[in-house]
């Protein structure tokens, strides 16, 4: 019996049903069971056939749809945001736990008389680069990608970690895919700080002048640009917030983002061209 609090196995459903649930932010069995038939039928691209499919799967898991109507889209979005925020808090907590441990050790040594001078206390609003770890990446992926950003060779890293150079290449590739996800946009400064910008982005924005043209800067918010409401909403859902975020993407990157279609892409290109701008020229793959 599958534990019902687990993440949904998308092999249970057809591609169309899976995409409809993913777009609504429904990724766990408990989430799905809290929805009613009315909630699910409100979702885009989910009809009676998909509903029957969902009921069949839940019955096999010993669960049923709820009889209480709720706003499924809002529930899914709130859960997604909460999980994202929790992941960020865990990463920050790890950084502060290390800082606390160092400070407690220094205080204990002062009490024991092992040292006579107070060591420099790290400033809490400064990131400890020596111990920094990107969220969503495994420890091994962090080790590899940070070392590669520092210019070390795959052979050197492989020798240190006791793995093969080909495994180093696989770990670096997996880390870069995660760093390109829109949810990592808020970590853009850290990606640049570790020298990973040219690996992660289609082109590096480090060299951009403060003024891209007479209208916009890299920090210009996309909500202040003349895109359609539909495109603005999709930017927001994918955490593409500033002009710099958008200009690191190419056409293929945008089409791969949830809910973006060729029509939305053409609209984006038109607005950028009208303002003397363009998307990145090569793929992020």
Q: What is the pLDDT along the chain (285 residues), one digit of tens a residue?
A: 444 457 788 888 888 888 888 877 788 888 888 888 887 888 878 888 888 999 888 888 888 887 765 555 555 566 666 666 666 666 666 666 766 777 778 778 877 877 766 555 544 444 555 677 888 888 889 889 988 888 888 888 888 888 888 899 899 988 988 888 877 766 777 787 787 877 776 555 554 444 455 577 776 778 888 898 889 888 888 777 778 778 777 888 888 888 889 999 999 999 988 888 888 765 444
pLDDT of 122: 47
pLDDT of 266: 93
Distance, in Å, from the CA atom of 44 to the CA atom of 51, rounded to the nearest integer, reads 12
Q: Is 113 exposed, middle or buried (0-12, 13-18, 19+ CB in 10 A)?
A: exposed
> Tokens representing 89?
């808090």
pLDDT of 165: 87
Residue 243: HSE in the Cβ half-sphere, 13 Å Cα cutoff: 23
Q: Which superfamily does CATH assign the domain made up of 10-70 to?
A: 5' to 3' exonuclease, C-terminal subdomain (1.10.150.20)
CB of 52 closer than 8 Å to CB of 58: no
pLDDT of 124: 41
pLDDT of 242: 77
pLDDT of 29: 85
CB of 55 closer than 8 Å to CB of 65: yes
pLDDT of 208: 47
CB of 143 closer than 8 Å to CB of 137: no
> Tokens representing 24?
């609504």
Place of tokens 């002048």: 209
- How is domain 133-200 classified at the CATH fold level? Arc Repressor Mutant, subunit A (1.10.10)
pTM: 0.37
Beta bridge partners, 28, equal 7
pLDDT of 210: 44
CB of 200 closer than 8 Å to CB of 179: yes
- 17-to-28, 36, 80, 238 alpha-carbon distances in Å: 14, 16, 19, 21
pLDDT of 62: 85
- In CATH terms, are 10-70 and 202-285 the same topology? yes
Beta bridge partners, 242, equal 221
Q: Which superfamily does CATH assign the domain made up of 202-285 to?
A: 5' to 3' exonuclease, C-terminal subdomain (1.10.150.20)
Residues 6+ apart with CB under 8 A from 64: 33, 55, 58
User: Where in the chain are the domains?
Assistant: 10-70, 71-129, 133-200, 202-285
């Amino acid at each position: 019996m599958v534990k019902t609090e687990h993440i949904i196995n998308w092999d249970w459903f057809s591609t169309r049903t899976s995409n409809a649930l993913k777009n609504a932010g429904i990724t766990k069995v408990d989430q799905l069971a809290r929805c009613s038939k009315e909630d699910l039928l409100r979702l885009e691209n989910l009809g009676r056939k998909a509903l029957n499919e969902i009921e069949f799967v839940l019955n096999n898991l010993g669960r049923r749809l709820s009889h209480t109507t709720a706003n499924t889209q809002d529930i899914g979005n709130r859960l997604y945001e909460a999980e994202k925020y929790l992941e960020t808090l865990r990463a920050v907590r790890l950084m502060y736990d290390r800082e606390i441990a160092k400070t407690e050790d220094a205080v204990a040594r002062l009490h024991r008389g092992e040292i006579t001078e107070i060591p420099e206390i790290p400033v809490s609003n400064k990131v400890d680069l020596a111990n920094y770890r990107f969220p969503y990446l495994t420890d091994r992926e962090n080790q590899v990608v940070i070392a590669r950003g520092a210019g070390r060779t795959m052979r050197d890293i492989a020798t240190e970690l006791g793995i093969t150079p080909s495994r180093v290449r696989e770990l670096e590739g997996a880390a870069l895919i995660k760093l390109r996800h829109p949810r990592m946009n808020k970590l853009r400064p850290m990606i640049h700080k570790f020298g990973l910008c040219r690996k992660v982005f289609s082109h590096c924005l480090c060299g951009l002048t403060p003024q891209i043209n007479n209208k916009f800067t890299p920090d210009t918010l996309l909500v202040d640009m003349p895109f359609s409401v539909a495109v603005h909403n999709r930017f927001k859902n994918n955490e593409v917030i500033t002009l710099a975020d958008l200009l690191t993407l190419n056409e293929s990157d945008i089409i791969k983002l949830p809910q973006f279609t060729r029509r939305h892409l053409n609209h984006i290109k038109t607005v950028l061209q009208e303002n003397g701008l363009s998307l990145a020229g090569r793929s992020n793959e």
